[in-house]
Structure 1
């Protein structure tokens, strides 16, 4: 097999080919060179954070105040300013175009911010669900342990039971003593021996 493979390789290689004329194949031990892209690259996370900031600003009273001030200045300037300085005559077509452009950009930014918020809410809900599952599992485990302890304590002798048993034993012993006429607890002898007379020397 090896000689046939070498023969086939020799047949494919043109006679007199050098290293410069051989077709170059991509090497697997080296990274590929970066390709040129026509479309500009951007960081989706940074763009998402920027969109959220813009969406938050659009939903504030400050934006409404600034937008009202700009529109009023725009309209008053184009009405009362000298004719040479007016850049947007009535019916303010340029102002309408700017507002349409602002709305066309604001809507996608708000939607993008909402999508990111939905993704965060979904992740938080998943974490809360897992936490609830762990809490339920722990509660069930503790419930089983408490039930086992209660079952075990039911078989343990309590103080009242031991007291009643001791009383029964004492009664039985007293009854036997009365039957046999024996003293259960004989009187103890005096610990001190009787005093002896001391002989006077």
Structure 2
């Protein structure tokens, strides 16, 4: 049987390029094919393994800060602050932050000033995770394409072998028929 070439010539045969000119993703795909090992991996787990303490903290802060629970809790604190300073302590003349709520505005500005960069860090980390996932998707797709091309090569080789065997058998049948026709005309 005509065997398709060995897996070490995959870059040249299937990609039309020398192994030294491959991108890192393409190199990983070719290496995994040559080693006959899967290329799939859990991107979430991979990203989590790469994450630092600060990355995970930013993700948690962004998850809390971007939730309805946070919004309703914060709204409750704001309304409570206003009721306390205007309604309860204001009537007693003991309000520590009366109506324009200057101290409350300062606190809100500080929360926003701290929360915004943390949320941006989390978004940057998510973007990095998305790029990692896209790169991995490319590798998996490339691997699938190359494997399909290799299967086509194998099927083509089997077809050629089958056709050669049929041609050989047809030649033998023709020879037998020719010999039978010669022997029958001689009788």
Normalising by structure 2, we get a TM-score of 0.61
Q: How many residues align?
A: 134
- In the alignment, what sits opposite 1:108? 117
- In the alignment, what sits opposite 1:71? 78
- In the alignment, what sits opposite 1:93? 102
Distance apart, 1:143 and its partner CA? 1.1
- Gap runs ≥5 in structure 2: 1-50
Larger radius of gyration: 1
Cα distance in 1 for residues equivalent to 2:71 and 2:95: 25
- Relative to its length, the structure with more helix (as a share) is 2
Runs of 4+ in 1 over 6 A off after TM superposition: none
- The yes-or-no answer on 1:133 pairing with 2:142 is yes
Distance apart, 1:51 and its partner CA? 1.1
- In the alignment, what sits opposite 2:129? 120
Of structures 1 and 2, the one scoring higher in RCO (CA 8 A, sep 6+) is: 2
Secondary structure, aligned partner of 1:89: coil
Alignment deviations for residues 151-200 of structure 1 (CA, whole Å, 9 cap, x no partner) = 12112238x969x7699479748945xx74xxxxxxxxxxxxxxxxxxxx
Distance apart, 1:84 and its partner CA? 4.1
Secondary structure, aligned partner of 1:110: helix
Normalising by structure 1, we get a TM-score of 0.57
Cα distance in 1 for residues equivalent to 2:162 and 2:65: 66
